[in-house]
Amino acid sequence: MQLIPQSPDIHAYMAADEVIDHGHPLVRETADALWTATGDAYAYAKVAFEFVRDTIAHSADSGDPRVSWRASDVLGTRNGICYAKSHALVALLRARGIPAGLCYQRLADDDGSHPAVHGLIALLLPGTAHWARQDPRGNKPGVDAQFSLGAEQLAFPVRPELGEADYPGLYAAPHPAALAALRESADRQELWRNLPTAL
């Protein structure tokens, strides 16, 4: 999929902010440990992806009621929905100088009902010309997302016939609708009610 960067400045996709807080000691410590185990950008990106996908539980799978949104909090609680896990992965990538941003899909139930916006990420590795989407949501029966710079293997390929869509925007900071849902929800039940249905 051809992504459209919402900022023309590549440095925007390496910046830290309140959400993608890759200057935080826990983010730096985690990034340093993962880098030590790899040693180059490609291997690091794959290991960071697998770390977030596999060791940070998606709260819909685990039943954890806590809502985390800041990357350092996601790493600290080892919990979060797709948006939060994406924030953590983007922070880990940027911590090692790899440009990364946030992107979104509109998904629905199998009958097209209950649409919701799903969050994932894209990264730009050295020597590559195209942003590559990755989905750290977390695997489970029926979901098998894998790290790939070629053919995408996302958690949820979209089904246009059900009104699902890949949004082409690549954001340096979380989309306001996604961030508001996280920040304004006291627990996961409230978050489910607050999830945006479209961007």
- Express each pLDDT in 11-47 by its tens digit: 999 999 999 999 999 999 999 999 998 889 999 999 9
Q: Is the pLDDT of residue 181 over 90?
A: yes
Residues whose CB is less than 8 angstroms from the CB of residue 76 and which lie 6 or more positions away in sequence, other chains included: 26, 68
Q: What distances in angstroms separate CA 72 from CA 60, 85, 159, 169, one per listed residue?
A: 20, 10, 33, 25
The confidence score (pLDDT) of residue 37 equals: 86
- Chain segment 54-69, per-residue pLDDT in tens: 999 999 999 999 999 9
Q: Choose among 34, 66, 39, 61: nearest CA to 50.
A: 34
What confidence tens digit (pLDDT) does each residue in 87-108 have? 999 999 999 999 999 999 999 9
Distance CA 19, CA 84 (A): 9
pLDDT given for residue 52 in this prediction:
98
Task: Check residue 175 and give its pLDDT.
Answer: 97
- Integer-rounded Cα radius of gyration of the chain: 15
State residue 147's pLDDT score.
97
pLDDT of residue 39: 80
In this predicted model, what pLDDT tens digit does every residue of 137-146 receive, in sequence order? 999 999 999 9
156-172 pLDDT per residue, tens: 999 999 999 999 999 99
DSSP string, the chain: ---EES-S-GGGGG---SSS-TTSHHHHHHHHHHHHTT-SHHHHHHHHHHHHHHHSEEHHHH-------SHHHHHHHTEE-HHHHHHHHHHHHHHTT--EEEEEEEE--TTS-S-EEEEEEEE--TT-SS-EEE--S--BTTB--B--SSS-B-S----GGGT-EE--EEBSS--HHHHHHHHT-SSHHHHHHH--S--
What pLDDT is recorded for position 136? 98
pLDDT-derived band at 129 (thresholds 50, 70, 90) equals confident
Angle, CA of 44, 46 and 51, to the nearest 5°: 90
